[in-house]
Amino acid sequence: MKVIFLGTLPPIIGLSPYCLHLSYALSKQIDLEFLGFKEFSHKSQDFKRESKIDETYYNDTLQSLNIHNKLSWYNPLSGLKAGIELKGDVLHLQWWISSLFIVIFPVLLLAKLKNIKIVISVHNILPHERGKFLLLFDNIANKLVFPFANKFIVHNNRNKDSLIDFYNIDENKISVITHGVFDLIKKRDLTQSEAKKHLKLPIDKKILLFFGYIRRYKGIDVLINAFTNLLTEMDDIFLLIVGQPIGENWEKYEKLIKENNIKDVVRVDLGFAPEDEIEYYFSAADIVVLPYTYLDTHGGVGALALTFKKPLVVSDVGGLPEYVDDEKAIVKPNDVEDLSHKLKNILQDDKLITKLSKDSANRARNLTWDDIAKKTIEAYRNAFNGN
């Protein structure tokens, strides 16, 4: 079986870490060709070029893959040419942003004409930002793309339900395959003290970490307000926010920090964190908080936290609860009081923090990319027999 895996790789930001881990695991088990982008962009004010992934960090892994970067995000002719040259048994499309429709559609059309089976991993059932135009365009693009699929892959059961509800997809055509941990990140096995010293964080305070893209649905305002509430009862905590604003104006969050008079106990590192700094941020953290307010997301940051065996506190949205084993670490979305209450209970209970850390370590052991690759290959086989 030859598989053409269509997605993105470093130095492109966004879905590249997921694509790199999965395609590398698949390539160890099957014949895989990676069809990628030679050019990729989005709104220039959001995706700064200094935010690109350092591809040299993953050089050994990238060199082991059979990569053909033929696509340009703005050029449908690049998709047409790639489709004409397409040879294989299965095309596995990573579908996460509908603005790529003009490039992806000709590839799908020609794959179908060549009787190549098509598997589509749907990473976002709904767009991250919910403006009327985006919802309309996303809906139209999905309705044109999804009929090509012989099989769908989603990351959690809520994604599956949404795919069925919004697009009337036969549930037998959908496989639920979760997200793996990011084990290609090179670890130094840092102590928390070493990480704090490197980042110049207060040694005597417990660090709450928000990490990842700063977007409206991520609930950073909820986290800031919950943290402010916590400060009335605890004085040994510190909030660390690390991420690149996407479609968001950071100034409104900065204003909220000033209004709450918490600037001295909050640090904000805006921008895309370099790969060799990621371990420092997570090693320094006592708790990683994902306070997302909506969306059927699975949250790659959750998998990143598991990589470093960190306690997680997550909102009850999408597949986030699947990263934790204890209901004490699951909060109501968009609920400041519930978030501050549960963070307080965890921070004041060393045994619970230890348990949550062990839970993360156990989940990390069960989310290997080799196992995920085996399940993905099974989805490829099912595409041939309609299961």
pLDDT in tens, 239-291: 999 998 887 889 999 999 999 999 999 999 998 888 899 999 999 999 999 99
Question: Which residue shows structure tokens 């839970």?
Answer: 359
Per-residue confidence (pLDDT) for residue 185, from 0 to 100 = 87
What's the rounded Cα separation, in Å, for the pair 220 and 246?
13
Do the domains 192-365 and 2-180+368-385 match in fold? Answer: yes
Residue 253 β-bridge partners: none
Per-residue confidence (pLDDT) for residue 73, from 0 to 100 = 87
What's the rounded Cα separation, in Å, for the pair 155 and 133?
26
Please state, for a pLDDT cut of 70, what percent of the chain lies above it: 95
Q: How confident is the model at residue 41 (pLDDT cuts 50, 70, 90)?
A: low
Least confident residue range of 190-204, 221-235, 261-275, 290-304: 290-304
Burial 214-244 (b: 16+ CB within 10 A, else e): bbbbbbbbbbbbbbbbbeeebeebbbbbbbb
Per-residue confidence (pLDDT) for residue 22, from 0 to 100 = 97
Locate 38 and state its tokens: 């030679």
pLDDT in tens, 3-13: 999 999 998 88
Q: What integer best gives the mean pLDDT of the chain? A: 92
What's the rounded Cα separation, in Å, for the pair 16 and 165?
28
The architecture that CATH gives domain 192-365 is 3-Layer(aba) Sandwich (3.40)
pTM of the model: 0.92
DSSP H or E stretch at residue 279: helix 275-284
Give mean pLDDT, residues 70-92.
96
| 126 pLDDT higher than 90 | no
Q: How confident is the model at residue 159 (pLDDT cuts 50, 70, 90)?
A: very high
Per-residue confidence (pLDDT) for residue 47, from 0 to 100 = 39
Sign of the C-alpha dihedral, residues 141, 142, 146, 147? negative
Give the CATH class of 2-180+368-385. Answer: alpha beta
| 107 pLDDT higher than 50 | yes
List Cβ neighbours of 324 (8 Å cut-off, separation of 6 or more). 312, 313, 314, 330, 356, 359, 360, 363
Q: How far is CA 117 from CA 22, 108, 112, 317, in A?
A: 19, 10, 7, 32
Residue 71 β-bridge partners: 37
Per-residue confidence (pLDDT) for residue 133, from 0 to 100 = 77
pLDDT in tens, 297-319: 777 899 999 999 999 999 999 89
Q: How confident is the model at residue 363 (pLDDT cuts 50, 70, 90)?
A: very high
What residues does each domain of the chain span? Answer: 2-180+368-385, 192-365
Q: How confident is the model at residue 61 (pLDDT cuts 50, 70, 90)?
A: very high
What's the rounded Cα separation, in Å, for the pair 330 and 343?
10
**Closest Cα partner for 357 from 335, 386, 385, 326?**
326
What angle separates helix 275-284 from helix 192-199, to the nearest 10 degrees? 120
Per-residue confidence (pLDDT) for residue 45, from 0 to 100 = 39
Give mean pLDDT, residues 334-346.
97
What's the rounded Cα separation, in Å, for the pair 335 and 351?
25
